[in-house]
Structure 1
Amino acid sequence: MNIPPVARRARFALPAVVASAALLLSATACSPAGSASASNPSAGSASDTSVPTLAVNQAAADLLPASIKSSKVLRVAIPTNEPPTQFYREGTQEMTGTNPDVARLIGDALGVKVDIQVTNFDSIIPGLAANRYDMTVSSMTPTTKRMEVLDFVDYMQIGNAIAVPKGNPAGIKDEHALCGKKVGLLTGSYQLTVNVPDYDKECTAAGKETIQRNEFQDTRQAISALTSGRLDTVLADSPILNFAATQNQQIEVAATYEFAPVSVGVPKESGLLKSVSAALSAVIKSDAYTKVLTKYGLEKSAITDARVNFAQ
């Protein structure tokens, strides 16, 4: 499903990037209201060990830069434990979820091994700049700012969600009700760096207090703060909060909105854009892509066009 360019989002030329990387990390998903919403992951997703595979797409593999053709390895940065988009398979240190599985499909199409390297979200762009990683599949929104240093190829769509304590004691119905509230946010996220500044402007214009920002390295920490009464709400990616609400009876999702594509990111100087774009075009047309999204209850997050550098 193609998404119109309604949402506002954006992502580096490698030279002066490390100093400014933190400013570029406006984070994850989201776009226009009324787009398809992500359903809850199936109860068996965490225990399902099957990983769909894909045949090599030789045309895409031929476009790989010489360094990757030689190593036959793609180092892929993926954030910390955030089911269903990425999480450790129970009892192991093996990452599963939509992002690791999509990364593996890209590797299949390119005929290379995928080496998943887990890191905090706000460390991904500095890590790409320092050549610790070749690529990221991290639900990253392609913003114009990030595009100063990274190239992007869309691979699925997700949205924003607002989680509240069960019963919604603060009466938060949507993003316009966040003024003056204690809101949990992922460090470096799109919600923190793009959404909240916009919401604060609305609050100020209405003569209300701005949002009380509380940053966390992962959404689980934010949800723990929410259930302990330290927060009024958590604002994060819809798949993560929708899943969390199915696992934790103390919280519920008050609103889900602003769906838009998220993208694979590669450094501009890496020479990977053409090969990754060709690989993703093959991936999203495959049954394996549908199986991966369905496995985690995100079949409505499917897209049909692997757009290149389409800023949100």
Structure 2
Amino acid sequence: MKTPISPRIQRTRPGLPAAVVISALLLALTACGAQAPASSTSDAGQATGVPALAVNEAAAKLLPESIKATRVLRVAIPTNEPPTQFYREGTQEMTGTNPDVARLIGETLGVKVEIQVANFDSIIPGLAAGRYDMTVSSMTPTAKRMEVLDFVDYMQMGNSIAVASGNPLGISSEGSLCGKKVGLLTGSYQLAVNVPAIDEDCTAAGNGTIQRSEFQDTRQAISALTSGRLDAVLADSPILDFAASQNPQIGIASKYDFTSVGVGMPKDSGMVKAVSAALDSVIKSDSYLKVLGKYGLESAAITDARVNFAQ
């Protein structure tokens, strides 16, 4: 059984003049943090354990001429966070659901995938600057992000709240986070959308708002939780669920709000038709289910590669 998709809370915003959209969005999504330089690794998708897929010639013909010429897709993926992305032991080669889905897309389009490792909050600025062609980074399509990016859904995931083992503070839901010290990934959906909504409810109930602490990767937040500097961590469920399975010092207090995440690419790149056609082939293939199953994420499978479906 696949976990059903349920919509997340979405605060819609009126449109902005085209001249200010990109600058305003980049400021909002980078949370005023300095952009970190991206490190990169390159691979041809060979010997990575990704099942082979035939080239979808019709999809490949839809690629922009620049990609046809280089036959390379530069894909931005965040830092080391298993099981969605992490370095294969003893190497600088990225594996996990996100790199493997990117490689399946590359196989379907008949191009090489070059993984560019970057902090999550630097990915959208990097796409805008032309450093990457697309991102496969568990990024939730929101109305705000869709002002500058096109998205095609490729899997689904939810939120989890991680707490210290035994849950000493009795945290059981989003509502339990009022006034608590909570760790969040910089630039994340949880920080940009979930926390403001929770804070509104906390204020309406006469409780204190969340005391936010931002981190460049979820492992740093988990370390702060286990050292007692945080009361909870709110992040993507695959990452926190995996961390809890490996670390007896933490547990999962709540898991909820499953929805799709998408491959993102700049609106002016001409990529969306090719990627949409490729992902339509990918998610119908046995290779897709094998990739998700390799990381215990069979329930993350979707059946419809929706285009620009805001959450």
Write out per-residue CA displacement over residues 256-297 of structure 1, whole angstroms, 9 at most, x where no aligned residue. 000000000010000000000000000000000000000000
Distance 1:306 1:235 in 2: 27
Gaps of 5+ in 1: 27-47
Other-structure match for 2:9: 8
Measured after TM superposition, the shift of residue 24 of structure 1 is 3.7
- Show the counterpart of 1:110: 109
2:65 is aligned to 66
**Would the alpha carbon gap of residues 14 and 124 (structure 1) be closer, same or farther in structure 2, given more than 3 Å must change?**
farther
1:208 aligns with 2:213: no
Residue 25 of structure 2: aligned partner: 20
Question: Where does 1:1-312 land on structure 2 (aligned, <5 Å)?
Answer: 6-9=7-10, 17-18=22-23, 20-24=25-29, 50-312=49-311
CA distance in 2, matches of 1:65, 1:239: 33
Cα pair 1:80 1:119 within 8 Å, conserved: yes
Q: Counterpart of 1:260 in structure 2: which amino acid?
A: T
CA contact (8 A) 2:237 2:255 kept: yes
Give the CA deviation at 1:23: 1.2
Q: Normalising to structure 1: TM-score of the pair?
A: 0.89
In structure 1, distance between residues paired with 2:175 and 2:9: 17
Contact 1:24–1:145, Cα closer than 8 Å, also in 2: no
Distance in 2 separating the partners of 1:81 and 1:195: 23
The farther-off stretch of 50-59 and 90-99 is 50-59
Equivalences, count: 291
TM-score by length of 2: 0.90
Does the CA-based 8 Å contact 1:25-1:190 persist in structure 2?
no
RMSD of aligned alpha carbons: 2.0
**RCO higher in 1 or 2 (8 Å CA, sep ≥ 6)?**
1
Alignment partner of 1:253: what SS? strand
Question: Any idea what the Cα deviations from partners look like across 1:82-132, whole Å, max 9, x if unmatched?
Answer: 100000001110000000000000000000000000000000000000000
Shift in Å, 1:2: 9.1
Alpha-carbon distance in structure 2 between the residues aligned to 1:200 and 1:157: 25
- CA 1:219–1:136 in 2, change beyond 3 Å: closer, same or farther? same
Report Cα offsets for 1:202-228 as digits up to 9, x if no partner.
110011111000000000000000000
CA distance in 2 between partners of 1:129 and 1:254 (Å) = 37
Q: Which amino acid aligns with 1:87?
A: F
Q: SS at 2:287's partner residue?
A: helix
Q: Judge conservation of contact 2:5–2:260 (CA < 8 Å) in 1.
A: no
